[in-house]
Each structure stands twice: as structure tokens, then as C-alpha cells.
């Protein structure tokens, strides 16, 4: 259970909150990831101008599928949810969505097949 932050393209930061072994996404984990993102946005000078995307990773949770990036006025997104298998896709779509959109909602996440 560790939180990690990675800067992407100098435009956005991803806050990853890992819940190792978690099969569900508890409200407290979602709030924790959002709080980390807000702290980064408000208390780290280098992050003031960045868009921040918090992602909760329940390593053993069921796939969450397509999710929308929903931006607050401070450019901190509502937390996204991912399991270990779909994390890379969620990250890729978050980055792609951030590059093409500012202040709008965009679909993000793996596409459903089958």
C-alpha cells in the first residue's frame, strides 16, 4: 500500500494509490488518492500549473472498463479506478485524454471487447 506520483510531459501528474491484494475500491482509498492529488496541486509549487489525475489501483479487483476523466475547476480529476491488468491502459488513455482535452470530460480506459 504505497502512493506514487509520476510527472507526465510537464503538463500532467498521475497520483497512483496502490492497494495490494484489494478486490474492491473502498471509499477511503478513493478519498485518499483524491486527497493526495489535492495536496500535490496545492502544496507543491511545481504542481500548481499541472493537471492531476489520481488513480486507485486495486491489484486484485475486477476490471473497471471505460471511465471518463471528470475535471474540477482546479484541474484535479475525479479518481479513476484500475486493477493491475488494466493499469497501463488507464494511464495511456489518461495521458492521451489530457493531451487532447483541457477542462472537459473525456472517456478513458480499456475498451470492452467480446
Q: What angle do CA 49, 51, 62 make, to 5 degrees?
A: 160
Question: Does the pLDDT value for residue 112 go beyond 50?
Answer: no
pTM attached to this predicted model = 0.82
Express each pLDDT in 59-90 by its tens digit: 999 999 889 899 999 999 999 999 999 999 99
pLDDT of residue 105: 39
User: DSSP letters of 22-87?
Assistant: -SS--HHHHHHHHHHHHHHHHH-GGGTTSEEEEEEEETTSPP---EEE-B-TTSBBPPEEE-TTTH
Amino acid at each position: 500500500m504505497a502512493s506514487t506520483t509520476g510527472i507526465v510531459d510537464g503538463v500532467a501528474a498521475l497520483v497512483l494509490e496502490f492497494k495490494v491484494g484489494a478486490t474492491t475500491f473502498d471509499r477511503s482509498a478513493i478519498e485518499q488518492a483524491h486527497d493526495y492529488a489535492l495536496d500535490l496541486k496545492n502544496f507543491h509549487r511545481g504542481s500548481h500549473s499541472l493537471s492531476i489525475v489520481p488513480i486507485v489501483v486495486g491489484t486484485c479487483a475486477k476490471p473497471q472498463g471505460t471511465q471518463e476523466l471528470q475535471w474540477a475547476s482546479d484541474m484535479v480529476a475525479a479518481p479513476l479506478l484500475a486493477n493491475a491488468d488494466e493499469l497501463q491502459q488507464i494511464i495511456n488513455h489518461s495521458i492521451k485524454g489530457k493531451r487532447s482535452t483541457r477542462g472537459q470530460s473525456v472517456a478513458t480506459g480499456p475498451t470492452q471487447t467480446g
